[in-house]
């Protein structure tokens, strides 16, 4: 069993602006795949396409969830969330004027997630104990690192099969970036998640990656079939790292 996701020949954009052109990527069950690229190359748009927040103009997004096959381009965001695909959005996007606990409960808004809400809440608090201490506090008053933990916790409330993480490093101090990446790795190992992570921070992202892609101007420029291949690719050194 396990869950995987495959994107084939995806084209997407906003109005006349084309952002993603012919992107084909995949993530196998319990695999961590990173999507590398600097600002404005279409990483977030790709994430939004998977969740149905942006409608692609062409291409297919197919998710295999525990044996069932689903064409995500035909489903609404709510239905996609129902399948167990959770997004940790770029910049965290918490609900700043709601409490930590309310933020977490909103992660389990769907009926499918509601049945196990109590258990998932306990799981969240055991993974991130500092959230339990601050459960009654407003999310906007948390520190940046705690906010990122809350964003991850909110996604966990869905008991997701596939976890999409969009730029977890944004706005965090380097030490917190490392901690966040570690937390993602820990969650993935613990719950056998399939993780697709978009990130700019090459060294941190590659640390936990099984495989990866580099996206440049909306196209996949490089595919690395292992973390080593990503680390040692000359094209990446040239185009992406500027070495």
Partner 1 sequence: MRSWVFLIVALIVAAAVFAAALLVRTTYGDYLLFAGYVVLQYVVLATAWNILGGYCGYVNFGSAAFFAIGAYTTVALHKLGANPGRYLSDTPFEVLGTLLPLSLPTLILLGGIVSGLVGFGMGYLTLRLRGVFFAIATLAMAVVLQTIVVNWDYVGGSRGAYIIRPDAAEIGPVSLAYIQYLFLAMMLLAVFALWVARTIERSRMGLGLAAIRDDEPAAEASGVPTLRLKLAATALSGALMGMAGAPFPYYVGYVEPANAFGLPYAVNAIAMPMIGGTTTWAGPLVGALVLGSLQQIATVTFRSEASLLIVGVLLVGFVIVAPRGIVGLVENWRRPKKKKLKSPQ
Give, in degrees to the nearest 5, the angle at Cα 154 between 24 and 14. 40
Residue 236 has what DSSP assignment?
A: I
CB 55 within 8 A of CB 15: no
Nearest residue (CB) to partner 1, 193 versus 206: 193
Q: CA separation (Å) from 25 to 6, 99, 229?
A: 6, 37, 16
Nearest residue (CB) to partner 1, 106 versus 235: 106
Nearest residue (CB) to partner 1, 62 versus 138: 138
User: What are the backbone angles phi and psi of residue 200, rounded to the nearest 5°?
Assistant: -95, -30
Mention every residue, 6+ apart, whose C-beta is less than 8 A from residue 109.
Answer: none
Q: How far apart are CA 156 and CA 86, in angstroms?
A: 8
**Nearest distance in Å: CB 7, partner 1:** 18
Nearest residue (CB) to partner 1, 94 versus 205: 94
Nearest residue (CB) to partner 1, 33 versus 81: 81
By CB under 8 A, name the binding residues for partner 1.
51, 53, 77-78, 81-82, 87, 89, 93-98, 102, 105-107, 109-110, 113, 137-138, 140-144, 147, 154, 158
Strands, sheet with 211-216, edge to edge from the N-terminal-most edge strand: 85-88, 162-166, 194-199, 32-36, 211-216, 219-224
**Nearest distance in Å: CB 52, partner 1:** 9
Nearest residue (CB) to partner 1, 134 versus 211: 134
Stated length of the chain: 243
**Nearest distance in Å: CB 193, partner 1:** 17
**Nearest distance in Å: CB 187, partner 1:** 17
**Nearest distance in Å: CB 24, partner 1:** 24
**Nearest distance in Å: CB 78, partner 1:** 5
């Amino acid at each position: 069993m396990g869950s995987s996701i495959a994107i084939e020949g995806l084209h997407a954009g906003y109005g006349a602006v084309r952002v993603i052109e012919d992107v084909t990527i995949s993530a196998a069950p319990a695999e961590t795949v990173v999507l590398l690229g600097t600002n404005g190359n279409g990483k977030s748009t790709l994430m939004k396409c998977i969740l149905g927040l942006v409608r692609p103009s062409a291409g297919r997004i197919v998710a295999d969830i525990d044996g069932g096959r689903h064409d995500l381009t035909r489903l609404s965001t709510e239905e996609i969330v129902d399948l167990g695909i959770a997004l940790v959005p770029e910049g965290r996007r918490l609900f700043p004027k709601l409490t930590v606990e309310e933020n977490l409960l909103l992660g389990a808004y769907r009926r499918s997630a509601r049945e196990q809400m109590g258990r998932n809440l306990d799981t969240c608090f055991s993974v991130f104990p500092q959230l339990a201490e601050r459960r009654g506090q407003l999310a906007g008053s948390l520190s940046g690192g705690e906010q990122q933990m809350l964003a991850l916790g909110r996604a966990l409330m869905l008991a997701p099969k596939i976890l999409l993480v969009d730029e977890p490093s944004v706005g965090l101090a380097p030490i917190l970036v490392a901690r966040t990446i570690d937390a993602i790795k820990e969650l993935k190992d613990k719950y056998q998640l399939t993780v697709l992570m978009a990130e700019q921070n090459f060294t941190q992202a590659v640390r936990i990656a099984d495989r990866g892609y580099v996206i440049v101007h909306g196209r996949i420029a490089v595919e690395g079939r292992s973390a080593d291949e990503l680390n040692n690719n000359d094209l990446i050194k040239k185009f992406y790292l500027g070495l």
